[in-house]
A and B are shown apart, each in its own frame.
Chain A
Amino acid sequence: MEHHIREEQGYHIASLTGEIDLETSPQARKILLDTVDHCEKILIDMASVTYLDSSGIATLVEAFQRAKKNGKHMAFIYLSPAVLRVLSLARLDKVFAIHADIESAIHAEP
């Protein structure tokens, strides 16, 4: 799984690429937890994530919960309809902070 982290307007933006499934979710888990541990304001760019399964969901939940526990801000941006569909099947679309793009994520931060 490829990933890339850049800094923009005070936010660390982690971009994930490809499919997050049983095979790749351990790698995605490491990337996300490292980012949560070392950054304060985190946006997860999901634009290039083409598939997400239940193990991928579990990874996102773990990172989101760790960020919340440590008082860090974490939001998801650029979700494809397919990924959004899986989040809604898991009823997580109402739990996660999900935004269309960077600007609206920054604008919405409490």
Chain B
Amino acid sequence: MTGNPMHLGLILMAIERSPEVDGLIRSFSAYGFELRLVPDGETALLFSQELNPDLIFLDVSLPGLSGFDTCLRLKELDTTKDTPVIFVTTPSDRASTVNGFSVGAVDYVTRPFQLEEVIARITTHLKIRNLHVLLEEIISNLQEEVAERQRTEEALQESMQLVQQANDRMKNDLAAAARVQQALLPEILPVLSNASFAWTYKPCSELGGDSLNVFQLDPDHVGLYVLDVSGHGVSASLLSVTLSRVLIPRRDPSCLFIKANRAPEADTLVSPADIASRLNRMFPMSEDGRQYFTLIYGILDTRNGMFRYTCAGHPPPLYLAPDQPAIPCEIGNVPIGLFEDIHYEEGTIQLQPGGRLFLYSDGVLEARNASKEFFGEARLQETLEATQSSPLQVSVDSIMNAALDWTGTHHAQDDLSILAFEWTSRKDELVDNPNKEVILAHQFPAHAKELGPMRAMTRTALNNHSWRSDIVEDIVLAIDEACQNIIRHAYHGECDDPILLRIKLNNHALVVVLEDQAPTVSPDCMNPRALEDIRPGGLGCHFIRQVMDTVSIEPSSTGQGNILRMSKNVYSPPTFQ
């Protein structure tokens, strides 16, 4: 270290000046230390605050303020509380050495000074002090870092709360939008004696791009459609909802389906191909949205079972004739919105009595399992053939369940829609065909006490056939509830006027006809109320709808009274052992 020109530290020494001390000053300088000498404790305190020395020597026997008191004061001051203090003692002064440590000194040296020892102690304590300072800096930096992280975490927490709130708002909005979309699905299906309808729908997310509906266009025609907007989510559902609103039949000039005339009986129906062309003009694919949709729309003539339809980029309908395999009825047309001035082709399907037609979206065919294999047309056909003898709604639900089971997760990648109808036969054949087997004909006055005997007679008549007892009990309940409705709502209470009950069997269709002589009632009286609304009448209609496949009410042709017709497929497939 000798001759080191560097300044290694400033040392303050409070000690009485002497030749020995002067020698020390010179030697210190040679080692690179600057030494400031002060004569007493008071001056040491003063200088230490001004000079901020790196190390302080205090003679234990200073004049005035003692070395120990000076040390105590130094340790109380912020500037010097961490500055190492070394006491200068004599070898015999053991007590001062101990006392020095107790007031905060880090070391001591004895006189006469041994230069190398003093330099070694200075170097050691400066090193310790520097390490101490460095450690404090590191701790301070770490504390700052921890504080910064806490601030970041708090900010992150705040951001997450904002995201959560935004997410909740979006969820609420989506749920509200989904309710709007649900409200556009068919609530009440057409009630006809010769055709029945069923549907099911499952969007792949809160909002779907599919839509479907079935509605009566006039007394003899029913319109049905399924459409599928390209893509998913909000944009697809917005177009889907718009289309559902446009595709509502009403008697005004904006109606797509009916060309209204002054006299309603002169109204004409717009052909399915023209509907597709008009939609194609109304909803061209926009440059930014790039949305188009596929559509199947058809009109069922309920008098003869003729279905006239067009299929624009949509999967072909599947026709299932009784005891026959299902047949896809393909027509090749492009989706709606892709090209201008397209002419859409039409097809017709002549349904046999008991024939069923299934319209569905491609989500059914394209439901994929874990191996990315499609549910496909073959499985769809297999499912609807297997449920041919089940009620139509059961068949439709079975297809939906089979497709969802196929995915393994019950979560399809696309919306699933299925709409189906069954054409039973011509109305007059269904009810008035004299060849039908008459099971029961019974007339009774509209009194509550007559219902018990009526049920007993009905039960006996039905039990002559080999139907399951629970099916018989269901039918008895439906007939009983229908009779109650006649007493309550047609006759407005018990009276002696008659109710005529006829039960007939036409192949597998059990047909129940109830006639009264009351004033004409509205067909709405047969609509069930919500199940929560437990009042007589509404619950009875709910039972009737649950049990029977078709229900309709119409005024009697004699101009007096009403005819309530109900039918149920009572076919049970043979069982094999």
Q: Mark B509-546, 1 if CB is under 8 A from A, else 0.
A: 00000000000000000000001001111011011001
* B69 sits at the interface (CB 8 A): no
- A53 near B448 (CB under 8 angstroms)? no
Neighbouring B residues of A55 by C-beta, 8 Å:
484, 536
Q: Which one of A22, A81, A82, A86 contacts B451 once the chains associate, using CB atoms below 8 Å?
A: A22
Flag whether A85 is at the interface (Cβ < 8 A): yes
Segment at the A interface, from B153-161, B365-373, B473-481: B473-481
> Which residues in window 435-481 of B have CB below 8 A to A?
448-449, 451-452, 455, 470, 473-474, 477, 480-481
Chain A interface size, under 10 / 10 to 19 / 20 to 34 / 35 or more: 10 to 19
Question: A5–B158 Cα gap in the complex (Å)?
Answer: 65
Asked if A53 contacts B480 (CB within 8 A), the reply is yes
B543 touches A23 (CB 8 A): no
Q: Is A40 an interface residue (CB 8 A)?
A: no
The contact string, 1 if C-beta is below 8 Å from chain B, for chain A 31-72, is 000000000000000000001011101100100000000000
Q: Which residues of A contact B449 (CB under 8 A)?
A: 23
Residues A90 and B531 in contact in the complex (CB < 8 Å), given A82-B473, A85-B473:
yes
A58 x B481 contact (CB < 8 A): no
Task: Report the separation of the CA atoms of residues A89 and B455 in the bound assembly, to the nearest whole angstrom.
Answer: 19
- A58 close to B534 (CB less than 8 A): yes
Q: Would you call B487 an interface residue if the criterion is a C-beta within 8 Å of the partner chain's C-beta atoms?
A: yes
Q: Closest A-chain residue to B481, C-beta based?
A: A54
What is the bound-complex CA distance between A39 and B190, given in angstroms? Answer: 49
Q: In the complex, are the beta carbons of B542 and A90 less than 8 A apart?
A: yes
Question: Of the candidates B455, B484, B487, which one forms a contact with A51 in the assembled complex, judged by CB atoms under 8 Å apart?
Answer: B455
Give complex CA distance A21, B543 in Å: 14
Q: Nearest Cβ in chain A — how far from B148, in angstroms?
A: 55
In the complex, which residues of chain B have a beta carbon less than 8 angstroms from the beta carbon of A53?
477, 480-481, 484, 540
CA distance A49 to B542 in the complex (A): 22
Minimum CB–CB distance from A94 to chain B (whole Å) comes to: 11
Residue A107 lies at the interface, judged by CB distance under 8 Å to chain B: no
The docked-state distance in angstroms from the alpha carbon of A89 to that of B478 is 11
Whole-angstrom CA separation of A58 from B546 in the bound complex: 18
- Chain A residues with Cβ below 8 Å from B484 are 22, 53-55
Cross-chain contact B546 with A23 (CB below 8 angstroms): no
CB <8 Å contact, A85 and B455: no
Instruction: Return the chain A residue nearest B455 by Cβ.
Output: A51
Instruction: Judge whether A91 and B531 touch: CB under 8 Å.
Output: yes
B452→A58 contact, CB < 8 A: no
Q: List A residues 1-49 near B (Cβ within 8 Å).
A: 19, 21-23
B488 to chain A, nearest CB (A): 9
Instruction: Please name all residues of chain A whose beta carbon is closer than 8 Å to the beta carbon of B534 when the two chains form the complex.
Output: 57-58, 61, 90
A residues with CB within 8 A of B: 19, 21-23, 51, 53-55, 57-58, 61, 81-82, 85-86, 89-91
- 15 contacts across the A-B interface (CB closer than 8 A): A22-B484, A22-B487, A23-B448, A23-B451, A53-B540, A54-B537, A54-B539, A54-B543, A55-B536, A57-B534, A58-B539, A81-B470, A85-B473, A89-B542, A90-B534
